[in-house]
Amino acid sequence: MTKIYDVTALSPENIRRAQTLREPDAIESMERAMKRVAEAARVLAAGGLVVFPTETVYGIGANAFDETAVRRVYAAKGRPSDNPMIVHIARASDIGQLTQMLSPQMVKLADNFWPGPLTMVLPKKRSVPSVVTGGLATVAVRLPDEPAAMELMRLADCPVAAPSANLSGSPSPTEAGHVIADLDGKVDVILAGGRCRVGIESTVVDMTATPPEILRPGILTADMLSAAIDADVVYGSRSTGAAPRSPGMKYRHYAPKAEMIVVEGQRDRVKAEIERVKSLNERIGVKVGVLLFDEQAYIEAAHDFYARLRALDAEGADLIIAGALSEKDGVGFAVMNRMMKSAGYNIVHV
C-alpha cells in the first residue's frame, strides 16, 4: 500500500507566509506537512522507497547506501540496471560521502548553482555502491532546490539515489498525479507537492572531462556554467538530440503512448505542415494532438512539456504532431533534446 501525503504547504510561498508573515493558517499547514515529511524520512532511512517533488521533476528515492533499496527503485520503474542514478544530498558538505576529489571548478559550480537544477558527475568514492552508478567509476550528484526534498533528506540523514518517478520510458512526472498514475502500489510513500517549477530534468555536467562536458542539457546552459568557472564548458555529443548511431535502433525515452512526429523548419511552414498532416490524419479517423510552443517562451515550454505529453495521452491522442523549437544552445535546445527522444527521432523537415 502506497501512502500519499500532501506536502503542498511546503511551497516557497506558503513557507514565506508561515515564517516571515507568521500567518497562523500557514504555520499550521506547514507544521502538518513537516510531520508527514518526517514520517517519510523514517520510511526512507529504514530502506523504503519515497517519491518526492523537486524543482525539476518528481524523484523516486532510496537510501543510496542501501543496495537492496536501490534495487527496488530499478524494479519499481522497470528500469535497466545499467542506467545510473543521480544521488541527491541536502547540504553541499554531504558531497564528501560520495567523492573525495573536489576541484576548484566543482566547488565554484556548487557555490553558484546549488541548491538548483545542476547535476555534477564526479569521481566516485569506493563506498558508493556500484548498483547506484551502473558500475561506473563516477557518481552523479545534485542538491535540489525544493523545501520538501531538502527536509526529507536532512531528516533521513543519508544521500538519496533518485531517478525520475515515472515508469521507465514514459514522460517524466511534473505533477503528483503523474506519479500516482505510474507508481501507485509500487512505492511506500508519495510526497505530493504542486507542479514542478522547472519541468525538465537537471543539466548533467561531467566534471571528470576536460573541458567539462554537458551530458544532458537543462535550464542551466553551457554559457551559464562557463561564466561561473571562467573556463570552457561544452555540449557533449549525447546532449545534441541527434539519433543514436546504431542502425535500426528505434530508441524512445520520455515517450507518450501516442505516435509522435516533430516538424522542423521555418515557423510559418511548420505551422502549415502541422495543419496539413493533421487534416490528412483526421480524415482517416486518427485522433491528432498538436504540441506547439511559442518561440522564445522557452522557460514556459520546459515547464509544460511533459505535462502536455501526458495530457494529450489522457485525451486519447493517437498521433502527436510537435513543432520544433529553433534555439540551438539554450533552454529551447534542452526542450528539443527531450522532444526528439519522445518522438523516437521521428522528424520531418519543411
Binding window for ligand AMP (CB under 6 A); candidates: 14-22, 82-90, 218-226, 320-328: 82-90
DSSP letters for 86-129: EEE-SSGGGGGGT-S---HHHHHHHHHH-SSSEEEEEEPPTTS-
Name the H helices within 174-319.
Answer: 176-183, 222-229, 267-283, 298-314
Residue nearest ligand AMP (C-beta atom): 163
175 versus 273: smaller Cβ distance to ligand AMP: 175
Catalog residues that contact Mg ion under the rule CB under 5 A. Answer: 164
288 versus 309: smaller Cβ distance to ligand AMP: 309
Is 272 a residue that touches ligand AMP (CB under 6 A)? Answer: no
Is 215 a residue that touches ligand AMP (CB under 6 A)? Answer: yes
- The contact pattern for ligand AMP, residues 159-198, with x = CB under 6 A and - = no contact, is ----xx----------------------------------
- Cβ proximity of 297 and 304 under 8 Å: no
Strand 59-63, strand 50-52: pairing: antiparallel
Which three three-digit cell numbers place residue 178?
503523474
Is 139 a residue that touches ligand AMP (CB under 6 A)? Answer: yes
With CB cut-offs between 5 and 8 Å by kind, which of ligand AMP, Mg ion, none does residue 138 bind?
ligand AMP
What is the four-CA torsion angle of 127, 132, 136, 137, rounded to 10 degrees? -20
Buried b vs exposed e over 20-37: b needs ≥16 C-beta within 10 Å?
eeeeeebbebbeebbebb
Q: Is 347 left (phi over 0), alpha (psi -120 to 50) or beta?
A: beta
Binding window for ligand AMP (CB under 6 A); candidates: 1-9, 78-86, 271-279, 284-292: 78-86
**DSSP-assigned beta bridge partners for residue 263:** 323, 348
Is 29 a residue that touches ligand AMP (CB under 6 A)? Answer: no
DSSP letters for 45-77: HTT--EEE--SSS-EEEEETT-HHHHHHHHHHH
DSSP state of 204: E
CB atoms within 10 A of CB 253: 14
Select the residue interacting with ligand AMP from 204, 205, 228, 319 (CB under 6 A): 204
Is 342 a residue that touches ligand AMP (CB under 6 A)? Answer: no
Is 241 a residue that touches ligand AMP (CB under 6 A)? Answer: no
Binding window for ligand AMP (CB under 6 A); candidates: 47-55, 79-87, 107-115, 328-336: 79-87
CB atoms within 10 A of CB 315: 10
83 versus 266: smaller Cβ distance to Mg ion: 83
With CB cut-offs between 5 and 8 Å by kind, which of ligand AMP, Mg ion, none does residue 219 bind?
none
Select the residue interacting with ligand AMP from 138, 203, 239, 337 (CB under 6 A): 138
Please report where in the chains the cell 525538465 appears, as a residue. Answer: 200
145 versus 264: smaller Cβ distance to ligand AMP: 145
Residue 132 beta carbon to ligand AMP: minimum distance, rounded to whole angstroms: 8
Query: How many residues bind ligand AMP, per CB under 6 A?
Result: 16
Select the residue interacting with ligand AMP from 51, 64, 85, 309 (CB under 6 A): 85
DSSP state of 320: E
- Cβ proximity of 107 and 99 under 8 Å: no
Is 218 a residue that touches ligand AMP (CB under 6 A)? Answer: no
User: Where along the sequence are the contacts to ligand AMP (CB under 6 A)?
Assistant: 83-86, 121, 133, 136, 138-140, 163-164, 201, 204, 215-216
